[in-house]
Copies of this chain bind each other. A is one copy, B any other.
Amino acid sequence: MMESIKVFAPATVANVGCGYDILGFALEGYGDELILTERQDDQLVIKTIQGVAELPLDPTKNVSTVTISALLEDLKLNKGFDLKIKKNIAAGSGLGSSASSAAAAAYAVNEFLGGPISSEELIKFAMEGERIASTKAHADNVAPSILGGFTVVRSYDPLDVFNIPYPEDLRVVIIFPQVEVKTSDAKKIIKEQVKLSDAIKQWGNVAGLVSGLILHDFERIGKSLQDVVIEPVRSYLIPLYQEMKTIALNVGALGFSISGSGPSMFCFVRDTSESSLIIERAKELYGKNGIDVISFVSGINNMGAKTLD
């Protein structure tokens, strides 16, 4: 039996405009790594956390170890592991940092144990990790981080998550201004009531986005990437949001919205020339306002969490 396993779980974009709490997709080449090594006792010990995020080493407070505890408890296993975590995603980026750690942890333990649990079922354990970082156990980041691709959380009770097809040549531009938006703050400003007329607009756009993705209708994807419920309040937490959105849409982006709870923003593009231009303009806009910005283009990652050599 192996003693150690190294895994990767990708960064993710949740909400995806109109799909607050139900839609998400995985990014390529950007995510967290986790090395899990079996211990002789039943302790979970975080040995090192490298990288961009400052995170708790206390196993009751770290999303990775909380996820592993939930999983081992469900399997009624007394096992211990050392964890070495490499964070490539900043906490508070809106790119599913905590979800990536939770997904990596759930995936690693399951692989280590020879895969007793299906990928779909792993989601609910990773959600327990997410609960630590957020006020609620959301699945819209952990689902795509584990499963890859574009995911729908149709229902939370019972949990019903599935992948939907999407055009393989769809590209995503991520614009991440270097300011922190706490998920908990971003959640506080969401109203508990929605105007029915806005809810109708939102589910019309969900129908448009989902059908546009499955049918590879780029124009429809762009038109449907609207959010009349969350964006109007959360965009105020993101510096220069409207300016950046206008620039991206003028350059030809297919829709533009907030990634998760922000401050990262994203847009879909078809062409690499558009993505280069959007990245260039983002650097100009934020640069002249004295804000550093990380910006990159990615495909949708169809793999999800995976074992590394």
Contacts and interface: CB of A to CB of B under 8 A. Distances in A.
Interface of A: 18-23, 152-156, 160, 162, 164-165, 190-197, 199-208, 210-211, 214-215, 220, 223-224, 229
A301 B191 CA distance: 41
A196 B190 contact: yes
Nearest to A18: B203
B155 A207 contact: no
A227 to B, nearest CB: 11
A20 B200 contact: yes
Contact of A196 (B160, B191, B215): B191
Contacts of A203: 18-20, 22, 199, 202-203, 206
Given A195-B192, A223-B154, A207 B204 contact: no
Contact of A214 (B160, B208, B215): B215
14 contacts: A153-B204, A154-B208, A155-B201, A155-B204, A160-B208, A160-B223, A162-B208, A164-B211, A192-B197, A202-B203, A206-B206, A207-B210, A211-B211, A214-B215
B207 A152 contact: yes
Contacts of A18: 203
A22 B197 CA distance: 11
A127 to B, nearest CB: 15
Copy number in the complex reads 2
Interface pairs A-B: 5 shortest CB-CB: A154-B208, A199-B199, A22-B204, A203-B206, A193-B193
Given A154-B205, A162-B220, 7 more contacts: A20-B203, A22-B200, A155-B208, A199-B203, A199-B229, A206-B210, A207-B207
Contact of A207 (B22, B156, B192): B22
Given A220-B162, A223-B160, A154 B200 contact: no
Contacts of A153: 204
A201 B206 CA distance: 12
A195 B196 contact: no
Contacts of A165: 215
Most buried by B among A23, A195, A208: A208
Contact of A210 (B22, B200, B210): B210
Most buried by B among A22, A154, A164, A229: A154
Contacts of A201: 155
Contacts of A154: 204-205, 207-208, 220, 223-224
Contacts of A196: 190-194, 229
A264 to B, nearest CB: 21
A19 B208 CA distance: 12
